[in-house]
Amino acid sequence: MLTDPDLTPEGRAWLDGVLGTEGWETAFTAAGRHVGRGHATAARVELLRVARPDAAILTRIYQRGDAAERLAVLLALPELPLGPEALPLVEDALRANDARLIAAALGPYAARHLDQHLWRHAVLKCVFIGVPVHQVAGLADRADAELARMARDVAAERAAAGRPVPDDVPHILSLVPDAPGTLDVPSSTSPSSPGNPPVQEA
């Protein structure tokens, strides 16, 4: 939740005035103009958290929204009383190549509801496009032998092509110590290294 130091008095007054009102959807779109671009995502998440829209409304907002508005919808999912009915939004974000949307899609909501097959492939996509896997909610709990096998295959393919192996690959393997096989190729620092800062909103 946004706190007073995060916003100008004018921005806080505007947000307080639209939270929980019938005009919250219009406010969701206009948030950047009133609270500033840097606070727009947090303001939109707060609007959704208070409004508690169902999956149908979320889907409409997501489909009509730009990337910044879609990001807010994805970040709000864990805050809303939803079951798996909003998974199509997560799956749509995972088909994109926007690192911010993919990182947001793999939050606590996906950790609870995304099936294991799709989840594994999403984790591997993070490795490929440079989303640090430590941002994936529930990674340590859900990592399994099949994910380890897939990560090991990625490492072997990269090594065979003379390309560096992302540091996230041995990190994934370390989460499944009983998985068969070993990683016998060197890793090197890559854009997806856990030491790098998390993906930030634009």
pLDDT (tens digit per residue) in 30-69: 999 999 999 999 999 999 999 999 999 999 999 999 999 9
Q: Which amino acid is at 6?
A: D
Cα 22 to Cα 19, 26, 47, 75, distances in angstroms = 9, 9, 11, 22
* Cβ-proximal residues to 167 (8 Å cutoff; 6+ apart), any chain: 187, 188, 189, 190, 192, 193, 194, 195
Neighbours of 97 (CB within 10 A): 9
* Cβ-proximal residues to 69 (8 Å cutoff; 6+ apart), any chain: 28, 29, 44, 61, 62
Domain residues of the chain, as ranges? 115-179
Does 198 have pLDDT greater than 80?
no
What is the largest distance, in Å, between two alpha-carbon atoms of the chain? Answer: 59
Q: What is the pLDDT of residue 5?
A: 65
Kindly report the pTM of this predicted structure. 0.86
Lowest mean pLDDT among 53-57, 85-89, 162-166, 189-193: 189-193
Lowest mean pLDDT among 74-78, 135-139, 155-159, 190-194: 190-194
User: What's the CA gap between 36 and 7, in Å, rounded?
Assistant: 8
Q: What is the pLDDT of residue 4?
A: 56
Q: What is the pLDDT of residue 190?
A: 42
What average pLDDT score do residues 108-117 get?
98
Q: 187: part of which helix (H) or strand (E)? A: strand 187-188
Q: What is the pLDDT of residue 7?
A: 83
Mean of per-residue pLDDT scores for the chain: 89
Q: What is the pLDDT of residue 177?
A: 84
The pLDDT > 70 percentage for the chain reads 86
Does 197 have pLDDT greater than 80?
no
User: What's the CA gap between 153 and 118, in Å, rounded?
Assistant: 17
Name the β-bridge partners of 165: 187
3-state secondary structure of 165: strand
User: What's the CA gap between 98 and 196, in Å, rounded?
Assistant: 17
Joined together, the tokens standing for residue 155 give: 């490492």
